[in-house]
Structure 1
Amino acid sequence: MTVGMINANPVVHERPERAAHPAHAALDALDVFDTVRDIKDPEHPYSLEQLSVLSQESVSVDEKLGHIQITFTPTVQHCSMATVIGLCLRLKLMQNFPPHFKIDIKVAPGSLANEESVNKQLNDKERVAAALENPNLRQLVDDCLCSDHSSSY
């Protein structure tokens, strides 16, 4: 899968240990981050956390307003997989949190050449639904969400 990679040699970071989160506590950024941290990068055998595409600090939650926001940082300015990464994040959150939560997925400001168009695509329900109906794209997203890779960390 190295043919055509934009970032063939990404920087890989160690995964820090996390303390257990009390089950009775209100939903917070750590809960959301723990849900998405093991999503695999579409081009590499590493998680989005390992590539510093995501961090706990890039997640915000307002449980009272029912709002989750994730801002991710692609590894390179011209990342062709930014939309796929965003779709993975959105689908994982939709699968794991109640439907009343409003989910915003955004690219970190200044981190992507076509940031505005990617943000628009990722936060338009009709575009997201259409993208997830594409069998090839859906397979790529599902492969990234597969948790089998997390055991190798």
Structure 2
Amino acid sequence: MPQFDNANPVIYQTKDRVREDKALFDDSQVDEIDAGEIFDLIRDINDPEHPLTLEQLNVVQEDLIKVEMTDKEKFVHVNFTPTIPHCSMATLIGLAIRVKLFRSLHPRVKVIVAITPGTHNTEDAINRQLRDKERVAAAMENSNLLYAVNKCLTPRD
């Protein structure tokens, strides 16, 4: 039997998927990225240890997502909250979120993924790893790590 960091996680109720896209059929309106859209992209990422999504574990929450737009750049800030302060899967979860957004958003959108402040014992070290583009790129060249990330991103039946 596998050893889990959090053998009995709390499972939360998921939100209904009700989004109105007012600009869907109106080419005159600009449909800007918002926190709800980002949440919809990452809510179904699978937890690496349990057959549950990050939303079901309350690891990702819409109110922990911020979208900022300046004159020149768009920023998406995603904080995520590990289920326990010593979660060994926090880096993999952050990497899965970052890869999902990298694959889903326009390359000009800057994505910043970080652990919610005060929720993990080594949040500073993990946040540095997740901010370092070269380390993330090197991680994605590791076939075992890429397999683990893709497993988190594969939809469940």
* Deviation per residue, 1:83-115 (Å, 9 max, x gap): 000010000001110000111000011111010
Superposed structure 1 runs of 4+ greater than 2 Å apart: none
Q: Deviation of residue 26 (structure 1)? A: 1.8
Q: Is the 8 A contact 1:13 1:50 kept in 2?
A: yes
Backbone CA RMSD of aligned residues: 1.2
Q: Which residue does the alignment assign to 2:59?
A: 53
Counterparts of 1:54-133 in structure 2 under 5 Å? 54-64=60-70, 65-133=73-141
- TM-score (norm. length: structure 2): 0.90
Distance 1:10 1:44 in 2: 9
Higher mean C-alpha displacement, 21-30 vs 101-110: 21-30
Matches of 1:139 and 1:131, distance apart in 2: 11
Q: Which residue of 1 aligns with 2:19?
A: 20
Structure 1-normalised TM-score?
0.92
Distance 1:16 1:108 in 2: 20
Rg (Cα) greater in structure: 2
Note the C-alpha offset of 1:20.
Answer: 1.9
Q: Report the residue type matching 1:57 in the other structure.
A: D
- State, as a whole percentage, how many aligned pairs show the same letter: 43
Aligned to 1:15, the other structure's residue is in SS state: coil
Structure 1 equivalent of residue 3 of structure 2:
4
**Contact 1:74-1:107 at 8 Å conserved across structures:** yes
> Deviations 1:18-65 (Å, cap 9, x if unpaired)?
322316232100011100100000001100000000110011112443
Deviation of the 1:14 alpha carbon: 1.5
- SS of 1:39's equivalent? coil
Count of equivalent residues: 148
Aligned equivalents of 1:110, 1:102: Cα separation in 2 = 24
Asked if 1:41 corresponds to 2:40, the answer is no
Counterpart residue type for residue 107 of structure 2 = P
For structure 1, which runs of at least 5 residues remain unmatched after alignment?
A: none
Q: Distance in 2 between matches of 1:21 and 1:60?
A: 19
SS class of match (1:102) = strand
